[in-house]
Amino acid sequence: MDLELNGGTALVTGASRGIGAGVARRLAREGMDVALVGRDTGALADVAREIGEMGRRAVPLIHDLRDPDGAGRAVDGAVEALGGLDLLVNNAGATKRGDFFELTDGDWADGFALKMHGYVRMTRAAWPHLAARSGCLINIVGIGGYAGLGEFTVGGAVNAALHNFTKAMVDYGRRDGVRVNAVNPGRVQTERLDRNLDRIAGPRGIEREEAARELLAECGIDRFGDPDEIACAVAFLASSRAGFAQGSLFCVDGGEHRAI
């Protein structure tokens, strides 16, 4: 299916690895030029080089989105380099897992600073450029926002807030001609999943493979996802093929989240 994204421009945050890098690569394969925002200079350069080999432009932008001024500078750099913006993919953000009673105020502040406030600031900075091109905003959130989990109190709270934020921005999207949607990944094969498996396996002295089998069984899924499977959902929602999708929270999780 031709998604008709060829020639468009996108900005992807958290693009140095994992889901963000997968989204950037997929958008490039669909013909978009991509601004890559992250903090790891070397990793961003590697992703940019891969995209360049596909024949598309990739612009690495080194910014810490915890910095209140980082979002504005990232958007300005992307627009200057690419000439405009058709798509913003908010993806940067990692929240700390752990026993609620062991999480500090700093852990909570950090979780909201990067993911929640980062998404808000990026949206505010990019919005006029998206509106000028009838563009799209896609938030990468997570199924953890639907159900409470003791070891994921920070991430669950942030994700639930971002679900609400995505829905709220639809009011402005309808007014300004910007489509706003979210993709909720489940368990995806990334470095973060590896760390989680190590956290499960280490204290019990079991192999990571055994921890993976236990986690799959606990989640009720057959396998872990691939970053490109999340990226394909993003590309579809960004395309005219999803032109009637507005305010959708699209779960790509292998069936883990089953509540209505």
CATH code, domain carrying 21: 3.40.50.720
- Regarding pTM above 0.85, the answer is yes
Instruction: For residue 141, give the 3-state DSSP assignment.
Output: coil
pLDDT at 115: 96
Whether residue 58 is predicted with pLDDT greater than 90 in this model: the reply is yes
Q: Which domain holds residue 183?
A: 9-189+225-252
Distance CA(243)–CA(240), nearest Å, equals: 5
Beta-carbon contacts of residue 83 (< 8 Å; ≥ 6 apart) = 9
Distance CA(198)–CA(97), nearest Å, equals: 13
Whether residue 205 is predicted with pLDDT greater than 90 in this model: the reply is no
Instruction: For residue 97, give the 3-state DSSP assignment.
Output: coil
> How many domains does the chain divide into?
1
pLDDT at 160: 97
Residue 129 lies in a domain: yes
Q: What is the pLDDT of residues 60-99, one digit of tens each?
A: 999 999 999 999 999 999 999 999 999 999 999 889 989 9
User: Residue 155 burial (CB < 10 Å; 0-12/13-18/19+)?
Assistant: buried
Residue 257 lies in a domain: no
Residue 207 lies in a domain: no
